[in-house]
């Protein structure tokens, strides 16, 4: 068995290039007229962003840091939008430097703040996307509770933008997170068409519609008895019908990377007694890469793994509570009455795989208790060999190659059955 003392540094996030590329290609097949702007917030690791850039993707940024991050990869402003409706001072200042071709606002005050920051000026005059509230159903988080003007106010915000000196206009929306119903996008697109018609009557040409993000991951699609193929085929039909005459773009994030990622953790402690349920402590936590347990209500799956040549796990399973690595007692993964069953002989040094973890994991976590965030390793196959590349943010691991070639690890990490 490979022991932590021998230098294997977990946790780490394995991301499959093949799965990322397949998701990008599905988007392009289903939505051929809708440009893909990857939502950097979903996973901001440079290795992933570099690969998406090589596939010709554009980028949806939300801050000065995210603009700087993609610009460092050679991405120019014409392939970048700034979609956060509430920009801080650093982001307003960075607009002049990185020059995203469009930015999002949902009220006159935000347009005024951008204008006070010196935009537009000289040869930089970005498009303004006015974000509207989306009338969505069956989503995990309804983002219209925080951002978006009422559709009937959108023309007024567009008029204010025109009077502030802006000359290019668009509309945007976000249906909410983990959306598996295409009808949410259709309703929002229908609202955008009406607003565009009303704006035209006021002398304002709306040229672009940004259909946002929110597309569910494969786990939720399966739970709701649908597939990504079905979801995007329907969205594609609605976009083809309702998006005619507009430049179209979308901001997928979770959909692109979630299913491509598997977090690998190690067991730090195992204990049981007659008075307590069996307790397993792992080296990842809810303040880190597993924060989705809180902000997404995510119930994680834990798949036991030992490297090739090690003693196989016992077929017997026992109920346990899994705790995270921090000193906080609420750092645990047994919510909603779920009972986790793991091999009876799972012990310190064994590994657990956590699938569908490529989105809002390393990018949403912290270093609480001084615990370093998980590094990213990108994997792909050449012939029958599994290749890998370490992110510049990942900790060097002398035993990584042995782990990558271990029995079973490659299949799970690559998102294969």
Say if 19 falls within a structural domain: no
Q: Are residues 267 and 408 in the same domain?
A: yes
Q: Is residue 85 part of a domain?
A: yes
Point out which residues pair with 269 in neighbouring strands.
281
Cα gap 46→305, rounded to integer Å: 28
Residue finishing a domain among 217, 234, 252: 252
8 Å CB contact between 97 and 139: no
Assess whether 264 and 376 both reside in one domain: yes
Whether residues 135 and 173 fall in one domain: yes
Q: Last residue of some domain: 200, 224, 252?
A: 252
| Residues 236 and 342 occupy one common structural domain | no
30 domain residue, yes or no: no
Residue 39 lies in a domain: no
Q: Does residue 32 lie in a domain region?
A: no
**306, 242: one domain:** no
What is the pLDDT, as a whole number, of residue 5? Answer: 33
Per the CB < 8 A criterion, the answer to whether 45 and 12 are in contact is no
219 and 280 share a domain? no
The pLDDT confidence band at residue 82, using thresholds 50, 70 and 90, is very high
Number of domains in the chain: 2
* Region of residue 176 (left: phi > 0; alpha: psi -120 to 50; beta: else): left
Domain end call among 209, 226, 252: 252
Question: pLDDT of 190-234, one tens digit each?
Answer: 999 999 999 999 999 999 999 999 999 999 999 999 999 999 999
CA dist., res. 341 & res. 316, Å (int): 9
Query: Mind listing the pLDDT tens digit for each residue in 27-60?
Result: 999 999 999 999 999 999 999 999 999 999 999 9
Domain of residue 77: give its range: 44-252
């Amino acid at each position: 068995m490979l022991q932590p003392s021998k230098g294997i540094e977990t946790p780490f996030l394995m991301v499959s290039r093949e799965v990322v590329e397949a998701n990008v290609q599905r988007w392009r097949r289903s939505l051929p007229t809708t440009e893909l702007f990857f939502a950097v917030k979903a996973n901001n690791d440079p290795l992933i962003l570099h690969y998406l850039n090589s596939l010709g993707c554009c980028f949806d940024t939300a801050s000065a840091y995210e603009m700087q991050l993609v610009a460092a990869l050679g991405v120019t402003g014409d392939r970048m939008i700034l979609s956060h409706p509430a920009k801080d001072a650093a982001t307003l200042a960075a607009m002049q430097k990185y020059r995203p071709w469009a930015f999002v606002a949902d009220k006159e005050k935000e347009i005024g703040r951008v204008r006070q920051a010196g935009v537009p000026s000289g040869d930089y005059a970005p498009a303004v996307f006015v974000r509207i509230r989306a009338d969505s159903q069956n989503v995990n988080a309804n983002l219209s509770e925080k951002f978006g003007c009422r559709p009937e106010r959108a023309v007024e915000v567009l008029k204010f933008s025109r009077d502030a000196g802006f000359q290019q206009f668009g509309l945007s929306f976000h249906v909410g997170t983990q959306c598996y119903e295409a009808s949410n996008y259709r309703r929002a697109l229908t609202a955008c068409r009406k607003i565009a018609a009303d704006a035209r009557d006021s002398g304002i040409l709306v040229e672009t519609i940004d259909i946002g993000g929110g597309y569910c991951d494969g786990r939720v699609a399966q739970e709701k008895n649908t597939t990504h193929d079905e979801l995007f085929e329907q969205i594609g039909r609605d976009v083809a019908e309702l998006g005619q005459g507009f430049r179209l773009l979308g901001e997928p994030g979770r959909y692109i990377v979630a299913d491509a990622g598997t977090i690998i953790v190690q067991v730090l402690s195992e204990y049981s007694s007659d008075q307590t349920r069996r307790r397993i402590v792992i080296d990842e936590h809810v303040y880190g890469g597993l924060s989705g347990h809180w902000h997404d209500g995510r119930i994680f799956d834990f798949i036991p793994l030992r490297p090739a040549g090690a003693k196989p796990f016992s077929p017997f399973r026992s109920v346990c509570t899994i705790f995270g690595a921090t000193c906080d007692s609420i750092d645990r993964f047994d919510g909603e009455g779920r009972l986790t069953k793991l091999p009876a002989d799972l012990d310190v040094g064994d590994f657990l795989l956590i699938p569908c973890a490529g989105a809002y994991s390393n990018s949403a976590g912290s270093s609480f208790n001084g615990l370093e965030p998980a590094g990213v390793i990108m994997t792909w196959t050449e012939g029958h060999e599994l290749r890998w590349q370490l992110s510049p943010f990942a900790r060097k691991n002398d035993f990584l190659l042995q782990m990558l070639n271990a029995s079973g690890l490659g299949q799970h990490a690559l998102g294969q059955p």
